[in-house]
């Protein structure tokens, strides 16, 4: 799913500026599941903003709402009235949701209250691990179901670098946790599948123009478009 | 009695003189299985504790969410605490441990808002600990008197009513409410 983390309060306050009527808009899909931007979290942020305003003696009006999905026009219709009545909308949705809201209600001010950070897999309750970067050309059929683009720190496509030791990467996470070497994992998985020869198969270079490096992407399903 | 650990350390603020006329309004989210019964016991034991506390009964402190604590502060409560079962003794196994995490998270949020995190707390006690209930109420009231009023004061808003409203159907009727309900039912018949 798409995961996001809430921005620090100071940054949010700077984005809101001196606007008096604030709407905190959550999204009840991906960001709700990652406990960052659902209706509950929208209510918490709204309460925080009211507490701060009351404490500082500023007269602001803060409301909250949530769309079932902020990235779909139909669901945005359901919160239209509140969005249009606000001076600024603080969206807790992912980057897609925030932009959909901003586009649908342009020129309404829509500000991000979160940083969208990854396409993550919930490893356990309240822990997410990055598993995909939507590169547009999936190769995990050749790598035992383990993505080297996202799980190798250098996104190497043809085996490990010299920094792989005892199954670990030479890079650590920003939290200084160890990272497993994706290519060591791939080797072990392919061995378990009896497909080690895949490691020695020549592969054509990956087409990165299908990733975000090739400019904004667009997908059209002609057979499904309304007639 | 061991103080629960505070998750957030705050800079030592210069101590303000305590206003003798300041009577804080304190909301207590009390678990039905322990603290609420401990309060009853404290009453039966004729123990004295400050009248500043207003209780809200919950089926378990695990039902308490971040927004419930925030709404009480937003409505002007000077202090808020949860009183749950002893750790390891929760009727629902881990509700009080969840509550501790949430209380600690609210402390972080308050610190971010520039409000003393000490205004929220969680205590653990069993239903047999009437004396501890009175002691905690006294100690927490004193803590809040020293901190002074919540900077978020809203005229005409009852923190107790706001906290109850935020909880919706989660809050259990207290004894007074339930006897009123029984009387109503009686008169309807």
CA-nearest residue to A57 within chain B is B152
Determine contact: A40 vs chain B, CB below 8 A: yes
Reported as a single tens digit per residue, the pLDDT across B71-108 is 999 999 999 999 999 999 999 999 999 999 999 999 99
Task: Using the predicted structure, report yes or no on whether residue A149 has a pLDDT greater than 90.
Answer: yes
Phi, then psi, of A104 in degrees rounded to 5: -65, -40
Task: Using the predicted structure, report yes or no on whether residue B183 has a pLDDT greater than 50.
Answer: no
- From the list A9, A47, A55, the residue facing B151 with the nearest CB is A55
Contacts of A40 in chain B (CB under 8 A): 65-67
Task: Using the predicted structure, report yes or no on whether residue A209 has a pLDDT greater than 50.
Answer: yes
Task: Tell me which DSSP letter residue B172 carries.
Answer: B
pLDDT value at position B90? 96
Task: Using the predicted structure, report yes or no on whether residue B10 has a pLDDT greater than 60.
Answer: no
pLDDT value at position B11? 53
* CA distances from residue A24 to A36, A43, A46, B44 in whole angstroms, order as listed: 13, 8, 6, 47
Task: Using the predicted structure, report yes or no on whether residue B115 has a pLDDT greater than 70.
Answer: yes
User: Are A14 and A77 in contact, with CB atoms under 8 Å apart?
Assistant: no
Reported as a single tens digit per residue, the pLDDT across A91-108 is 999 999 999 999 999 999
Quick check: A44 and B70 CB within 8 A? yes
Reported as a single tens digit per residue, the pLDDT across B17-71 is 788 899 999 999 999 999 999 999 999 999 999 999 999 999 999 999 999 999 9
Q: Domains of chain B (ranges plus CATH)?
A: 26-174 (3.40.50)
In the predicted model, what is the mean pLDDT of residues B99-119?
97
Q: Domains of chain A (ranges plus CATH)?
A: 2-118 (3.40.50), 133-214 (no CATH)
pLDDT above 90 covers a percentage of chain B that reads 70
Residue B170: pLDDT band (50, 70, 90) is confident
Task: Tell me which DSSP letter residue A98 carries.
Answer: H
Reported as a single tens digit per residue, the pLDDT across A34-88 is 999 999 999 999 999 999 999 999 999 999 999 999 999 999 999 999 999 999 9
- From the list B67, B70, B115, the residue facing A55 with the nearest CB is B115
pLDDT value at position B9? 54
Q: Which residues pair with A114 in a beta bridge?
A: A6
H/E run at residue A189: helix A182-193
Determine contact: A60 vs chain B, CB below 8 A: no
Tell me the pairing of strands A127-132 and A114-124. Answer: antiparallel
pLDDT value at position B184? 43
Tell me the pairing of strands B79-84 and B26-31. Answer: parallel
CA distance A168 to B172: 53
């Amino acid at each position: 799913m798409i995961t996001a983390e809430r921005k620090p309060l100071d940054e949010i306050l700077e984005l809101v500026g001196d606007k008096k009527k604030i709407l905190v808009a959550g999204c009840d899909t991906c960001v709700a599941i990652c406990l960052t931007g659902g209706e509950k979290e929208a209510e918490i942020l709204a309460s925080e903003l009211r507490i701060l305003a009351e404490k500082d003696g500023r007269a602001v009006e803060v409301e909250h709402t949530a769309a079932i999905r902020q990235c779909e026009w139909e669901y945005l219709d359901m919160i239209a009235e509140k969005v249009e009545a606000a001076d600024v909308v603080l969206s807790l949705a992912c980057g897609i949701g925030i932009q959909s809201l901003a586009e649908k209600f342009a020129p309404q001010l829509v500000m991000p209250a979160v940083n969208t950070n990854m396409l993550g897999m919930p490893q356990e309750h309240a822990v997410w691990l990055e598993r995909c970067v939507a590169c547009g050309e999936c190769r995990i059929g050749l790598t035992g179901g383990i993505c080297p683009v996202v799980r190798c720190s250098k996104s190497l496509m043809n085996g490990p670098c010299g920094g792989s030791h005892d199954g670990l990467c030479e890079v650590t996470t920003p939290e200084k946790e160890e990272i497993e070497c994706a290519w060591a994992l791939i080797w072990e998985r392919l061995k378990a599948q009896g497909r080690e020869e895949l490691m020695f198969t020549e592969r054509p270079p990956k087409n990165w123009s299908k990733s975000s490096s090739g400019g904004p992407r667009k997908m059209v399903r002609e057979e499904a478009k309304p007639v | 009695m061991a103080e629960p650990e505070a998750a957030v350390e705050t800079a030592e603020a210069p101590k303000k003189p305590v206003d003798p006329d300041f009577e804080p309004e304190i909301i207590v989210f009390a678990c039905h299985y322990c603290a609420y019964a401990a309060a009853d016991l404290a009453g039966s034991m004729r123990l004295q504790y400050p009248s500043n506390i207003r209780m809200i009964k919950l089926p378990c402190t695990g039902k308490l969410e971040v927004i419930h604590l925030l709404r009480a502060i937003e409505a002007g409560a000077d202090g808020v605490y949860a009183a749950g079962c002893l750790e390891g003794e929760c009727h629902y196994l881990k509700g009080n441990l969840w509550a501790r995490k949430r209380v600690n998270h609210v402390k972080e949020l308050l610190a971010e808002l520039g409000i003393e995190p000490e205004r929220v707390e969680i205590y653990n006690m069993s239903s047999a600990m009437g004396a501890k209930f009175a002691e905690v109420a006294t100690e927490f009231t004193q803590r809040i008197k020293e901190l002074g009023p919540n900077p978020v004061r809203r005229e005409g808003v009852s923190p107790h009513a706001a906290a109850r409203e935020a909880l919706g159907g989660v809050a259990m009727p207290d004894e007074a409410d339930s006897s009123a309900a029984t009387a109503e039912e009686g008169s309807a018949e």
